[in-house]
């Protein structure tokens, strides 16, 4: 009888440790995310299962070109996945299909080269947005059909959950993501 009780206690101890590890990983390190919609096509598709790294942005700020998951600023129970275009303190303009970034380094504006977009894709809409401290301008890769900062504005840093690191599903689309390099 004593052996059975010791075995049950050991199983309970293992279960508690496993649940604690899952809780820590899930809430502080990595979070799964299911892409819903086509705003990030062709780079992310409806139904893609992505792992989000929640730790990186505790150590550094998001970089231009990274794909992030964040709470939608107008409804915090909704999560979006978009690409970071504008960084804190910058001005972002969209006009005539061209995205320009204005900052201390590029006072006359830098036309954003976006090799991750399909050839011939034009960025629709017109906007002129100045970002404050801790604010980001984000856009979907499917520019014609993306509901993003051109429509509803800036994303506060506090709403950023993490960076998309790995696509797990579909298996044929297994991909590790890195931010694009801009000239």
| Residues marked as catalytic | 39, 82
Separation CA 86–CA 57 (nearest Å): 16
Quick one: DSSP state of residue 103?
Answer: S
Residue 128 neighbours by CB under 8 Å, 6+ apart: 91, 92, 93, 94, 95
CB 159 within 8 A of CB 71: yes
Residue 128's nearest CA partner among 101, 146, 107, 148 is 101
Task: Print the SS3 string covering 107-158.
Answer: CCCEECCCCCCCCCCCCCCCEEEECCCCEEEEECCCHHHCCCHHHHCCEEHH
């Amino acid at each position: 009888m004593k052996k059975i009780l010791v075995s049950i206690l050991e199983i309970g101890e293992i279960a508690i440790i496993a649940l604690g590890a899952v809780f820590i990983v899930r809430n502080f390190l990595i979070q799964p995310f299911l892409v819903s919609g086509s705003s990030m096509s062709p780079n992310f598709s409806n139904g893609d299962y992505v792992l989000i790294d929640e730790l990186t942005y505790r150590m550094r700020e998001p970089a231009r070109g990274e794909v992030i998951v964040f709470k939608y600023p107008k409804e915090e129970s909704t999560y979006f996945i978009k690409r970071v275009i504008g960084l804190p303190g910058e001005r972002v303009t969209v006009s005539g299909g061209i995205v320009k970034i204005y900052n201390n380094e590029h006072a006359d504006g830098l036309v954003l080269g976006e090799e991750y977009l399909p050839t011939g894709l034009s960025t629709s809409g017109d906007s002129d947005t100045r970002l404050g401290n801790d604010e980001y301008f984000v856009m979907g890769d499917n520019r014609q059909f993306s509901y993003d900062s051109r429509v509803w504005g800036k994303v506060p840093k506090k709403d950023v959950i993490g960076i998309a690191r790995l696509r797990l599903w579909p298996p044929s689309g297994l991909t590790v993501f890195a931010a694009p390099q801009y000239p």
